[in-house]
Structure 1
Amino acid sequence: MYKILHAENLAGNIFLMQVEAPRIAKHCEPGQFLIVRIDEVGERIPLTICDYDKEAGTITIVFQPVGASTERMSHLKTGDSFIDVVGPLGQPSEFIHEDMEELKKKKMLFVAGGVGTAPVYPQVKWLHEHGVDVDVIVGAKTKDLVILEKEMEAVAGNLYVTTDDGSYGRHGMVTKVIEDLTAEGKQYDVCVAIGPMIMMKFCCLTTKKLNIPTIVSMNPIMVDGTGMCGACRVVVGDEIKFACVDGPEFDGHLIDWAQAMKRQAMYKTEEGRALLKLREGDTHHGGCGHCGGDK
C-alpha cells in the first residue's frame, strides 16, 4: 500500500497528492511518469510526476478527473492509500543527459498549459538546481485555474502567466505569449510544451514558424502505460512510436497531430460513459442510446 501523506484541491477540478513511495522516488528523473491504482478493481492510471523527494521518499502527482477512476481518486484524503504505484516509467527528458556546460549556454522556453504545469515543474526545478535558468509560460483559462505559480516562480528564470480571459497575468493563449516574447527580442534554442493536445499542437505550429525546435509530452494519449495495449501509438516523422515506452517526450514538429488527436478522442467516449455511470449510481440506466448504458 502507498500512503497518501497530503491531499489537496489545488484549483477548480485539479487535485494534488503527495504519496509515500521511497523506492520509486529514489529513481525518479524529470519527464517520467507513474501508474497508480486505487484498489483491486480500479483502472491503471498513467500520471506524470509533478515532484519527487529522494531523501524523504515521496512523489507528488497532480491530476484532473476525466473518467470514473480519476473521479474516485479525487475523493481520497490524507491517510488513504493506493494499492499500487508503479514507476518511474518512460524515458527521462533528454536534457538531463546533455553536457552541463553546453546546456547552460542554451536559451530554453517551457510552455505549460493547465494541468501540464505539473510535469513542467520538475523539469524547470531540475534545471534550476543545476544552474540553468529558463523562461516559463504558464497558461490557464482563468485566474482560478492557475496552479503551482509560487513553486514555479521560485525555480524559473522568468515566469509569464497568461489567462485566456485576461483575468490574471497577460491576456491570451500561450501561443500569443510565445510570439510576444520573440517580438520583444527573446531568442530560444529549444521550447518544451506540455499541456492539452490542442495546446501542444498550436504551440508547435507557432514555434515552427519561429524556427524554434520543440519538444512535447504525449502523456495525454497513454492508457495502459506499459506498451502492451498500443493505445498511445503515435507517428513521429516516418516512424511509429509508443508514448509510454519510447516517450513520453518527442519532437513536436514531427508529430502527426491529426492522427494523435483522433486516437485520444476514441478513449474519451469510454471515459465519459464510465464517469456518468459512477455519478448516477443506481439511477443510471442508459436508454438515451448515446451513453452506452442500454447495452
Structure 2
Amino acid sequence: MYPIVKKRILAPGIKLLEVKAPDVARKAQAGQFIILRIDEPGERIPLTIADFNRDEGTVTTIFQEVGYTTQQLGRLEEGDTLLDFVGPLGRPTEIENYGRVVCVGGGVGVAPIYPIARALKEAGNEVISIIGARSRELLILEQEMRSVSDELLVSTDDGSYGHKGFVTDLLVKVLQEKKVDRVWGIGPVVMMKAVSEATRPFKVPTIVSMNPIMVDGTGMCGACRVSVGGETKFGCVDGPEFDGHQVDWDLALRRLRMYRDEEARALAFHQEKRGGCQCR
C-alpha cells in the first residue's frame, strides 16, 4: 500500500497528491510516469510524475478530475492509501546542455513540464518557460516554474492574467526574437499540435509528451499506439516523448475520442450509485 502524505488543491478540479513510494522515487526522472490503482476493483490510470524527492521517498502527481477514477482519486485525503503505484515508466527526457530552450505547458501540462524545466536548468540551459490556462484561477505552479526559469511568460485564454490568448502566441514571439535550440510542449493534444506547427517554420526541434489511451504501461497491450514518422510507436515504452513534427496528430485525436461515450456512461453510472453525491 502507498500512503498519501500530502494533498493540495491547486485550482478548481486540479489536485496534487504526494505519495510515499521510495522505490519509485529512487529511480524517477523527468519525463516519466506512473500507473496507479486506488483499490482492487479500480481502474489503472497513468499519471505523469510532477516531482519526486529521493530523500523523503515521495513522488508527486497532479491531475484534473475529468472521469470517475480521477474524481475518486480527488476524494482521497492525507493518510489514505493507494493499492498500486507502479513506476517509473517510460523513457526519461533527454537532458543535456542544448543552449537556449523553451518549455511550454498548457493547463495540467504545466505539472510534467516543471521537472523537465528544472532538469534542463540544472544542465546549464537558458530556460524560457511559457505556461497558460483558460483563466487565472486554473493556472498552476506559477512560482515553481518561475524558480527554474530564466524567463517566465504567462497567458490566459480570457485575458484574466498575463497575455490574452494562447501559449503559442507567446512562443512565436520568442522564436521571432531569439535563437532557440529546442522546444518542449506538454498539454492537451490540440495544444501540443499547435506548438509543433508553430515551431515547424523555424525548424526548431520540438518534443511533446503524448498521453494516449493506456492499459498495462509495459508495451504488451498495444492500446497506446502512436504514429510517429509513419511508424507505429507505443507511448508507454517508446515514449511518452516524441518528435512533435513527426506525430500523426489527426490519428492521435481520433484515438483519444474512441471511448468517450463509454467513459461518460461509466461516470454517470458511478455517480448514480453514489446517489449523485460529488462531495468531499
- TM-score above 0.5, yes or no: yes
Q: Name the SS of the counterpart of 1:50 in structure 2.
A: strand
Match of 2:146 among 153, 174, 180: 153
Match of 1:291 in 2: none
Tell me by how many angstroms 1:137 deviates. Answer: 0.4
Q: Map 1:145-224; keep pairs closer than 5 Å.
A: 145-183=138-176, 185-224=177-216
Change (3 A) 1:223 1:65: farther
The one-letter code of the counterpart of 2:70 is T
> In structure 2, what is the Cα distance between the partners aligned to 1:8 and 1:142?
19
Tell me by how many angstroms 1:139 deviates. Answer: 0.8
Q: Name the SS of the counterpart of 1:244 in structure 2.
A: coil
Tell me by how many angstroms 1:220 deviates. Answer: 4.4
> In structure 2, what is the Cα distance between the partners aligned to 1:282 and 1:39?
17
- Tell whether the 8 Å contact from 1:140 to 1:162 is kept in structure 2 after alignment: yes
Q: Deviations over 1:74-97 (max 9, x none)?
A: 1000110101100000000122xx
Q: Name the SS of the counterpart of 2:60 in structure 1.
A: strand
Q: Name the SS of the counterpart of 2:154 in structure 1.
A: strand
Q: Map 1:11-160; keep pairs closer than 5 Å.
A: 11-95=11-95, 98=96, 103=97, 105-160=98-153
What TM-score does the superposition give when structure 1 sets the normalisation length? 0.90
Aligned length: 276
The one-letter code of the counterpart of 1:57 is G
Q: Greater CA deviation, 218-227 or 26-35?
A: 218-227
Match of 1:278 among 265, 270, 280: 270
- Tell whether the 8 Å contact from 1:46 to 1:224 is kept in structure 2 after alignment: no
Q: Greater CA deviation, 110-119 or 274-283?
A: 274-283
What TM-score does the superposition give when structure 2 sets the normalisation length? 0.95
> In structure 2, what is the Cα distance between the partners aligned to 1:203 and 1:223?
27
Tell me by how many angstroms 1:228 deviates. Answer: 2.4
Query: Are 2:245 and 1:253 aligned?
Result: yes
The one-letter code of the counterpart of 1:168 is Y
Computing the radius of gyration from Cα coordinates, the structure with the larger value is 1
- Tell whether the 8 Å contact from 2:131 to 2:167 is kept in structure 1 after alignment: yes
The one-letter code of the counterpart of 1:18 is E
Query: Percent identity at matched positions?
Result: 51
> In structure 2, what is the Cα distance between the partners aligned to 1:27 and 1:196?
27
Q: Name the SS of the counterpart of 1:115 in structure 2.
A: helix
> In structure 2, what is the Cα distance between the partners aligned to 1:282 and 1:126?
43
- Tell whether the 8 Å contact from 2:212 to 2:226 is kept in structure 1 after alignment: no
- Tell whether the 8 Å contact from 1:196 to 1:220 is kept in structure 2 after alignment: no
- Tell whether the 8 Å contact from 1:11 to 1:145 is kept in structure 2 after alignment: yes
> In structure 1, what is the Cα distance between the partners aligned to 2:7 and 2:259?
27
Tell me by how many angstroms 1:219 deviates. Answer: 2.1
- Tell whether the 8 Å contact from 1:221 to 1:260 is kept in structure 2 after alignment: no
Tell me by how many angstroms 1:109 deviates. Answer: 0.5
The one-letter code of the counterpart of 2:111 is A
- Tell whether the 8 Å contact from 2:101 to 2:125 is kept in structure 1 after alignment: no
> In structure 2, what is the Cα distance between the partners aligned to 1:270 and 1:253?
31
Q: Deviations over 1:37-81 (max 9, x none)?
A: 100011111000000011111000000122211110010001101
Q: Name the SS of the counterpart of 1:246 in structure 2.
A: coil
The one-letter code of the counterpart of 1:249 is E
Match of 1:244 in 2: 236
> In structure 2, what is the Cα distance between the partners aligned to 1:227 and 1:63?
23
> In structure 2, what is the Cα distance between the partners aligned to 1:154 and 1:283?
44
> In structure 2, what is the Cα distance between the partners aligned to 1:62 and 1:283?
27
- Tell whether the 8 Å contact from 1:33 to 1:47 is kept in structure 2 after alignment: yes
Match of 1:231 among 204, 207, 223: 223
Tell me by how many angstroms 1:178 deviates. Answer: 1.0
> In structure 2, what is the Cα distance between the partners aligned to 1:270 and 1:65?
17
- Tell whether the 8 Å contact from 1:197 to 1:220 is kept in structure 2 after alignment: no
